[in-house]
Structure 1
Amino acid sequence: MSFLYDVPGPVTRRRIRIATAVTALAILALLGFAAWQLNQHDQLDAERWTPFLDVDIISYLLVGLRGTVLAAGVVAVMAFPLGVLLAVARTSEHAALRVPAVVFIELFRTVPVLLLIFVMLFALPRYGFNPSVLWKLVIPLTVANAAAIAEIVRAGIVTLPRGQSEAGLSLGLRRAQVVRRIVLPQALRNVTPSLVSQVVSLLKDTSLGYVVAFTEMLYRAQVLTSYNRLLIQTYVVVTLVYLLVNGSISWFAAWLRKRLDTPADVAVAEVPAVLPVMSR
């Protein structure tokens, strides 16, 4: 069951499978052509790849990975609560809460993150606001991801049946209590896989840290290529690291989505077609 989109029918699922197979074949062909080109220019020689088995280079790149995880963790801790508050404010009946939330969300959903980083790097220091390198990356990512998370949570809120809120109000709960105790727990449960998927985008966005010279994976790769002159090999290794980390998170999101969907499906499947007549 999906709360954010309609479940595709048999014809659509067949078309999706065909499109997936064609896309996979095209990607394999492209990778094969790339490998052939690299081999033609001696880029697959063993001596160009063995340096990445060196402990010092591995440790050097792991420091960049630690910086990436640190930045992503700080942004997640700040952006998720802010996004939930913005979603609640946007769905509020009070214009004093709703209008500022709408302006914030729409503004930071449309402005590129790179532009926000440039503002932190060049504009704000002129007015006396010059935080550390970490915060020059974290603050723009936080506001951008909070806006995206707010829309995800809002989608979970508006898809809930109105009867959920009406039942809470009929019991004498205040609207704030209904939102906190009834609406938000269900909405967050429904959109949890989408929130986990947002972490993938967040980790990719941390690669913009090279703009402010923050020590993350891409910045470390730039410095390493100036030392070992192995441009292609270095970025291939860094790409594989990103694929491993983001692939693990995507797999967890898919597993979580399946796990959240299973209980409802099983419950429906276990309902008997005809209820047995109870004997007195």
Structure 2
Amino acid sequence: MILASAFSAANLHYLMAGLGITIAVSIISILISFIFGTIFGIILFEEIPYFTKTVRLVVNTIRNLPLLLLIFFTYFALPKLGIQLNAFNATVVAMSVFESTMVAQIIFGGLASIGVGQIEGSISTGMNKMQTLWYIVLPQALKNSIPPLISQFISLVKDTSLATAIVLTDVMFRSQVIYGQNPNYMIPMFALVTALYFVVNYSLSLLSKWFERKLEV
């Protein structure tokens, strides 16, 4: 009886709408952080005078801060500076900034793993430094970085739940609303939310394996 009422059509519809918000925040943050993280990773690898040191300082600082602190800063502090963001946009900005630094380190590691001999060999064939990076080094680095990138993006999906602190109406927040109406719904909601997060993250794992197979062809 409790399960039937907990999983009523209205509750499930309400929860699925929250899952849509979780997925939307995750996808947007993944895309933004991948783009900027790759750029930052390349800058770290190339050792550009002065510029690389600045980027390294920013990356090392942000990646060692709590993500929740960044979420609070974007939602509560930025309005004091004249930048007003709703819960959705504040979460995307905070997660994109934080994850970009994580991706930067992963991409840098992937680039650094490529043998110096390959770089020297490509340059000796007449390629310039940029061509060597674009055609030889970066494709291999991205392939090597797929497993840690997927692990990081899975963490990103799970970390969206932190945004309940600023009342982002994601799947976790909505489950709290549902069992707040009836404490007996708590365990069913926890079980369902656990299953939903598993499905989303397992799908990411399958996607990473598909990418790896494509790159091996």
Q: TM-score, normalised by structure 1?
A: 0.71
Q: Post-superposition shift, 1:172?
A: 2.7
User: For residue 114 of structure 2, what is the aligned residue in structure 1?
Assistant: 160
Post-superposition CA distance 1:118-157 (Å, at most 9, x none): 1112222111111222111011101111111111111111
| Alignment counterpart, residue 31 of structure 2, candidates 77, 80, 89 | 77
**Helix, strand or coil for the counterpart of 1:214?**
coil
The answer to whether 1:248 aligns with 2:203 is: yes
What amino acid is aligned across from residue 2 of structure 2 in structure 1? R
Post-superposition CA distance 1:31-87 (Å, at most 9, x none): xxxxxxxxxxxxxxxx22122442211111100100000000110111001010011
User: For residue 136 of structure 2, what is the aligned residue in structure 1?
Assistant: 182
What amino acid is aligned across from residue 240 of structure 1 in structure 2? A
Task: Decide whether the 8 Å contact of 1:64 with 1:216 is kept in 2.
Answer: yes
> CA separation in 2, counterparts of 1:88 and 1:258?
21
Name the % identity: 30
> CA separation in 2, counterparts of 1:174 and 1:259?
30
Post-superposition CA distance 1:194-221 (Å, at most 9, x none): 2222221110011112122112111111
> CA separation in 2, counterparts of 1:261 and 1:173?
23
| Alignment counterpart, residue 125 of structure 2, candidates 163, 168, 171 | 171
> CA separation in 1, counterparts of 2:198 and 2:94?
24
**Helix, strand or coil for the counterpart of 2:46?**
coil
| Alignment counterpart, residue 82 of structure 2, candidates 121, 125, 128 | 128
Structure 2 unaligned regions, length at least 5 = none
What amino acid is aligned across from residue 200 of structure 1 in structure 2? I
Task: Decide whether the 8 Å contact of 2:22 with 2:160 is kept in 1.
Answer: yes
| Alignment counterpart, residue 158 of structure 2, candidates 204, 211, 217 | 204
Between Structure 1 and Structure 2, the one with more helix by share is: 2
**Helix, strand or coil for the counterpart of 1:91?**
helix
Alignment of 1:69-108 (within 5 A): 69-108=23-62
Task: Decide whether the 8 Å contact of 1:106 with 1:147 is kept in 2.
Answer: yes
Backbone CA RMSD of aligned residues: 2.0
Larger Rg: 1
Post-superposition CA distance 1:150-200 (Å, at most 9, x none): 111111111111112112222332212211221111110121222222221
User: For residue 191 of structure 1, what is the aligned residue in structure 2?
Assistant: 145
The answer to whether 1:117 aligns with 2:71 is: yes
Post-superposition CA distance 1:239-262 (Å, at most 9, x none): 221122223323444x45874898
User: For residue 31 of structure 1, what is the aligned residue in structure 2?
Assistant: none
> CA separation in 2, counterparts of 1:261 and 1:119?
39
- Where relative contact order (Cα < 8 A, 6+ residues apart) is larger, the structure is 2
Task: Decide whether the 8 Å contact of 1:193 with 1:257 is kept in 2.
Answer: no
**Helix, strand or coil for the counterpart of 2:187?**
helix
Structure 1 unaligned regions, length at least 5 = 1-46, 264-280
